[in-house]
Amino acid sequence: MKIALAQENYIVGDFEHNIEKIINAITVAKAKGACLVVFSELTVCGYSPHDLLYRNDFIEKCLMGVEQIAKHCIGISAVIGAPSYNPEPTGKPLFNSAYLLSDGEIKSVHHKSLLSTYDIFDEHRYFEPNHNFTLANLNGKRIAITICEDLWDNQQTSVGMRQNKVSPMAELKKQNPDLVINIAASPFSYDTDSHRLSAFSELAKGLGIPIISVNQVGANTDLIFNGDSMALNANGVLVKRLNSFVEDTQVVDTETDSFIDAKNQFNPNDYIAQIHDALVLGIRDYFQKSGFTKATLGLSGGLDSAVTLALAQKALGSQNLRVLLLPSHFSSQHSIDDAVALADNLNIKYDIINIKDSFDTINQGLNPVFGDLPSDLTEENIQARIRGVMLMALSNKLGHLLLNTSNKSEAAVGYGTLYGDMCGALAVLGDVYKSDVFKLAYYINREVEIIPTNTIVKPPSAELRPEQKDSDSLPDYPILDGILREYIENQKSADEIIELGFDAEVVTKIIRLVNISEHKRFQSPPTLRVSSKAFGLGRRIPLVARL
Amino acid sequence: MKIALAQENYIVGDFEHNIEKIINAITVAKAKGACLVVFSELTVCGYSPHDLLYRNDFIEKCLMGVEQIAKHCIGISAVIGAPSYNPEPTGKPLFNSAYLLSDGEIKSVHHKSLLSTYDIFDEHRYFEPNHNFTLANLNGKRIAITICEDLWDNQQTSVGMRQNKVSPMAELKKQNPDLVINIAASPFSYDTDSHRLSAFSELAKGLGIPIISVNQVGANTDLIFNGDSMALNANGVLVKRLNSFVEDTQVVDTETDSFIDAKNQFNPNDYIAQIHDALVLGIRDYFQKSGFTKATLGLSGGLDSAVTLALAQKALGSQNLRVLLLPSHFSSQHSIDDAVALADNLNIKYDIINIKDSFDTINQGLNPVFGDLPSDLTEENIQARIRGVMLMALSNKLGHLLLNTSNKSEAAVGYGTLYGDMCGALAVLGDVYKSDVFKLAYYINREVEIIPTNTIVKPPSAELRPEQKDSDSLPDYPILDGILREYIENQKSADEIIELGFDAEVVTKIIRLVNISEHKRFQSPPTLRVSSKAFGLGRRIPLVARL
């Protein structure tokens, strides 16, 4: 059976765009001799539509889209994803469904049982879980059509891996399927994706039948989907693996194809390359899908803005970038030199505006209120906020979206000024710990020095007061990031982290800093997600609470 | 049977505080001769703990709290709320439970079936739904212990009211209960709360047994709980209704009490008074529970900042407020006069800082970048952002939290400057449409003129350019708010709103403004929720999408 895997990049709610793309893929697959083309989860509307699923006109457009696509399924069948109405008068009004289209019409509809409701997922908010399991029939083959997590039996919870209450695949297996189709919308995360192939391989081996899995590619706001669609044979051997982070449509023959196509296999050592590709795609799609082309940022001469600019240049091109250097009286000459060198290396237009006059004028304005009160964090924040005003002015006047350059380590401990360096339309590095930002810089420089070496090797500093260094008040980044990973990604308690060998006083201090910074992160820009636990909708901590 | 209704105000995660409060109420109820005291949902940890439920140490503290409280239940019983572990190896690891405590120990545990998963609720994220229904036994009485929505049979969805798949109360009714206990954490919303009493009354009448319902009171970040706990007899007649928006513990005798205590009954005409009380409680609890006492804001002479200040004064006291008047060259003298008059009326300390010099200096700084480009929205935004810098400087230097003064109408259409007037720790009026802000002003002035009449009657203006008025670019507020209510609260499509009689061109324009402002609201402060659909976690619209 020749099956096409259509790994495509959709825009949430852009039905015209999505449907055209789907119909094109059907045409291409048919031309390549495929008898079936498989798409990803919620194909027609894109994943995730969130509360657009509450709008009746949105659902109607989805259903009309399915009908329209079905008409193109002549001489070829397709499995596409879209919501469907729950015909029962009880429960949530929708199902998250897979439609088998053939002979110009809908042949069967299969609903998702295990509704993802954790981290960034809220499917129980919209959908009723399925309890009826039936195979699809196509060309004499019995096909188990599954949606995302329905294929596996367990889920990560606060108390470790737990079995799901229902096992859709166990139910479907009883009916002796010949083949499993899985349509997914599984966002990339560098710390979990390495398990995927082995999990699928075990599953195929256990079932003794081939698995075809198609995952969405592209970024929608904060979520980056890498695709990584694959086909495995009945022995659990990888037969076909699609390219990551790009659209890709390939045909596999489940009868004859049996070799391992090892190309593009996930290598855990390559996680920095994967993060790099994810972030470039994340920036590009954020801009393209919201109709913007140009970006700006504040180039400090430090590491974070340098890496952000290099990534943005890859995503948008030098001609679409224009940056500001905004030194104050605390900025070192080497910072300015490093920033200029980077802009020159990337051929990006820059302006230098010294913020000293603005800083002095604002302080004079505040003098009647503050009188002789000593200088403190307030004045550091004023500098950061004046930079925010300048960058947003450029953004407003010239139409360049402002990129935020904060990294995950500083976002975690609250080392950033709200409405200052925390401004931006999109946080590029907000889910990348500083230790990984260093690695990204070396990766960016792997062939030629783009980011000046001095930017990478000098001690990190916010340069908001004389001789300031990050290490004045924070532990070294490998230690800081180690603690943060245990607390944020692994959800360990202070006691558990201390048991791992970290210094008790440092752990207590860092966790306190994370907890008292929730209010800042609440007003952060959307953050490109590359880990299994990014700040944002996937992590919901009450602001007013005793943590 | 004498039953105490304990309507209390908890701090999420502050176990010491919550447990002490619970034990005190048990002692008081016992002294008043009650044999049972009923608390609200998730009493021990406070509602909603969100992702704190993912932390094992948090759950352990809940369970230890339940044990500790049980020891105080000697000579009296109690029903409290807390999570419990799901003993099954499948499904989510927790239940949302009600514990019946008696004779110093846990007598029985009853789990929630209908897990709220819509608007601001995410209970399926954490909890497994219950499928086993058993009555509790107490002093020879058979009691149906239910949690929040388990008591009713239907839910509001995108396609209207729908029946739930399971009816816990129908299951429990089969076992012939003598009494229903309901523990809830149901946040206030002015547009739905009027239905509550009649719904409970119908239920009690239908079941033919009394209902005792206890709801949490107090505000946790954005959510405001009004309590409004009540007891109804077997005929559905209201026997006791606790005071709204305050802690209240009262005893009802289900055998002898039978009169209607009409006091404090919800009157739909009073919704402005209810919003007023909700917002005052919301401000007070946000500050008290996060350990702050003092607030600031920018007083423009306009309506929104005036109403916000009057509410803050009620919540925090004049001595804890200090405000800035930040006129520019576009500010009218009457604005300054009105602002000064209000500060004087409320006896609040203020300073006046003209921002003209700061504005000029920043523009000079930007001149090399902008050259001769004409003045536009950029310069309006710079003014708003300089005000943000000034107010945040006062906040940082003196420890006053900044209150945001934007109303829901302008938040909806994006008439606000990100990092400018959209700054703040808490948005007080962010869920109040401008037409209701006017009504709030009259309500505040109901006995004596606090807000200068001129502030209320003059045409609203942002005063960011000469002669600017809100009506230059927006329809009159009653029309604007009418359209917004249909689109946001009632989730109607443009076509449906036009069918209601609104002008098609205006509807199209307003909906477009709402849709292109999602990115601004994403970075808004937490907003006190008083309606059934506030901006924030209860409304999840993808930023990058074709809306």
Among the partner-chain residues A11, A355, A418, the one whose CB lies closest to the CB of B546 is: A11
Nearest of B86, B95, B85 to residue B115 by alpha carbon: B95
Beta-carbon separation of A547 and B390 below 8 A: no
- List of chain B residues whose C-beta atoms are within 8 Å of the C-beta of residue A423: 418-419
Beta-carbon separation of A544 and B285 below 8 A: yes
Q: How close B385 gets to chain A, by Cα (Å)? A: 6
Beta-carbon separation of B158 and A382 below 8 A: no
- pLDDT score of A269: 61
Q: Of A30, A61, A112, A314, which residue is the catalytic one?
A: A112
Q: State how far the alpha carbon of B324 is from the alpha carbons of A221, A249, A360, B358, B527, in Å.
A: 37, 60, 19, 15, 22
Asked if omega into A48 is within 30° of 0 (cis), the reply is: yes
- pLDDT score of A303: 97
Chains A, B: CB contacts within 8 A come to 284
Residues shown for chain A: 547
- pLDDT score of B460: 86
* Stretches in chain A below the pLDDT threshold 70: 158-159, 258-269
Q: How far apart are CA B148 and CA B39, in angstroms?
A: 12
What are the tokens at A282? 């994340």
Domain B2-264 has CATH 3.60.110.10: yes
- List of chain B residues whose C-beta atoms are within 8 Å of the C-beta of residue A12: 542, 544-546
Q: How many helices (H) and strands (E) does chain B have?
A: 16, 21
Q: How close A535 gets to chain B, by Cα (Å)? A: 12
Domain A2-265 has CATH 3.60.110.10: yes
Q: How far apart are CA B538 and CA B48, in angstroms?
A: 13
Contacts of B169 (CB under 8 A, 6+ apart): B144, B146, B150, B151, B152, B153, B180, B203, B207
Coil, helix or strand for B298? strand
What are the tokens at A412? 């975690």
Among the partner-chain residues B12, B54, B164, the one whose CB lies closest to the CB of A542 is: B12
Query: How many other β-carbons are positioned within 10 Å of the β-carbon of residue B79?
Result: 30
- pLDDT score of B466: 84
Among the partner-chain residues B51, B386, B397, the one whose CB lies closest to the CB of A389 is: B386
Q: How far apart are CA B225 and CA B189, in angstroms?
A: 9
- List of chain B residues whose C-beta atoms are within 8 Å of the C-beta of residue A154: none
Break chain A into its structural domains and give their ranges: 2-265, 273-470+515-522
Residue of B nearest to A290 (CA): B544
Question: Which uninterrupted H or E stretch holds B277?
Answer: helix B271-290
Nearest of B532, B433, B539, B441 to residue B482 by alpha carbon: B433
Q: How far apart are CA A361 and CA A347, in angstroms?
A: 34
Q: How far apart are CA B100 and CA B73, in angstroms?
A: 10
- pLDDT score of A267: 60
- List of chain A residues whose C-beta atoms are within 8 Å of the C-beta of residue B544: 11-12, 219-221, 285-286, 289-290
Q: What is the pLDDT of residues A332-354, one digit of tens each?
A: 899 999 999 999 999 999 999 99
**B395 φ, ψ (degrees, to nearest 5):** -60, -50
Q: How close A169 gets to chain B, by Cα (Å)? A: 15
- pLDDT score of B256: 79
Q: How far apart are CA B356 and CA A168, in angstroms?
A: 67
Nearest of A271, A309, A301 to residue A460 by alpha carbon: A301
Q: How far apart are CA A214 and CA B430, in angstroms?
A: 42
Q: Of A41, A128, A463, A486, which residue is the catalytic one?
A: A41
- List of chain A residues whose C-beta atoms are within 8 Å of the C-beta of residue B489: none
Asked if B122 contacts A122 with a C-beta cutoff of 8 angstroms, the reply is yes
Q: How far apart are CA B40 and CA B227, in angstroms?
A: 9
- List of chain A residues whose C-beta atoms are within 8 Å of the C-beta of residue B351: 368-369
Query: How many other β-carbons are positioned within 10 Å of the β-carbon of residue B291?
Result: 8
> At the fourth CATH level, which superfamily is domain B273-463?
HUPs (3.40.50.620)
Asked if B376 contacts A383 with a C-beta cutoff of 8 angstroms, the reply is no
Beta-carbon separation of B220 and A545 below 8 A: yes
Beta-carbon separation of B90 and A162 below 8 A: yes
Q: State how far the alpha carbon of B455 is from the alpha carbons of B272, B337, B338, B451, B501, in Å.
A: 19, 10, 6, 7, 32
Q: How far apart are CA B47 and CA A417, in angstroms?
A: 30
Nearest of B52, B122, B56 to residue A121 by alpha carbon: B122
Residues shown for chain B: 547
> DSSP letters along B358-418, please?
HHHHHHHHHHHHHTTPPP-HHHHHHHHHHHHHHHHHHHHHH-PEEEE---HHHHHHT-S-T
Asked if B97 contacts B111 with a C-beta cutoff of 8 angstroms, the reply is yes
Contacts of B351 (CB under 8 A, 6+ apart): A368, A369, B322, B323, B324, B325
Diameter over CA atoms, chain A? 86
Q: How far apart are CA A29 and CA A8, in angstroms?
A: 13
User: Is A467 part of the annotated catalytic residue set?
Assistant: no
Q: How far apart are CA B356 and CA A363, in angstroms?
A: 13
- pLDDT score of A533: 96
pLDDT truncated to tens, each residue of chain B (547 aa)? 899 999 999 999 999 999 999 999 999 999 999 999 999 999 999 999 999 999 999 999 999 999 999 999 999 999 999 999 999 999 999 999 999 999 999 999 999 999 999 999 999 999 999 999 999 999 999 999 999 999 987 777 766 778 888 899 999 999 999 999 999 999 999 988 777 888 899 999 999 999 999 999 999 999 999 999 999 999 999 999 999 999 999 999 988 776 655 554 556 569 999 999 999 999 999 999 999 999 999 999 999 999 999 999 999 999 999 999 999 988 889 999 999 999 999 999 999 999 999 999 999 999 999 999 999 999 999 999 999 999 999 999 999 999 999 999 999 999 999 999 999 999 999 999 999 999 999 999 999 999 999 999 998 888 888 888 888 889 999 999 999 999 999 999 999 999 999 999 999 999 999 999 999 999 999 999 999 999 999 999 999 999 8
- pLDDT score of B360: 97
Among the partner-chain residues A364, A381, A392, the one whose CB lies closest to the CB of B419 is: A392
- List of chain A residues whose C-beta atoms are within 8 Å of the C-beta of residue B56: 158-159, 493
Among the partner-chain residues A53, A165, A358, the one whose CB lies closest to the CB of B361 is: A358
Find how far residue A136's CA is from the centre of its chain. 32
- Residue B153 DSSP label: S
In the block, tokens 């907890």 appear at: A515
> DSSP letters along A432-476, please?
S-HHHHHHHHHHHTSSS--S-HHHHHSPP---SSTT--GGGTS--
For strands B401-404 and B295-296, give the pairing.
parallel
Can you say whether residue A31 is alpha, beta or left, with left for phi > 0 and alpha for psi between -120 and 50 degrees? alpha
Asked if B214 contacts B229 with a C-beta cutoff of 8 angstroms, the reply is yes
Beta-carbon separation of A354 and B365 below 8 A: yes
Q: What is the pLDDT of residues A200-224, one digit of tens each?
A: 999 999 999 999 999 999 999 999 9
**Residues of B involved in catalysis:** 41, 112, 148
Among the partner-chain residues B51, B92, B162, the one whose CB lies closest to the CB of A539 is: B51
pTM higher than 0.90: yes
- pLDDT score of A547: 85
> DSSP letters along A138-187, please?
ETTEEEEEEEGGGG-SEEEETTEEEE-S--HHHHHHTT--SEEEEEE--B
- Interface probe for A, chosen from B523, B527, B539 (most Cβ of A below 10 Å), is B523
CATH of domain A273-470+515-522: 3.40.50.620
What are the tokens at A398? 């010239």
Coil, helix or strand for B230? strand
Residue of B nearest to A523 (CA): B523
Coil, helix or strand for B80? strand
Q: For chain A, first and last CA: distance in Å? A: 56
- pLDDT score of A266: 52
What are the tokens at A547? 């943590």
Q: What is the pLDDT of residues A405-436, one digit of tens each?
A: 999 999 999 999 999 999 999 999 999 999 99
Beta-carbon separation of B382 and A389 below 8 A: yes
- pLDDT score of B158: 66
Nearest of A116, A117, A115 to residue A131 by alpha carbon: A115
Residue of B nearest to A487 (CA): B55
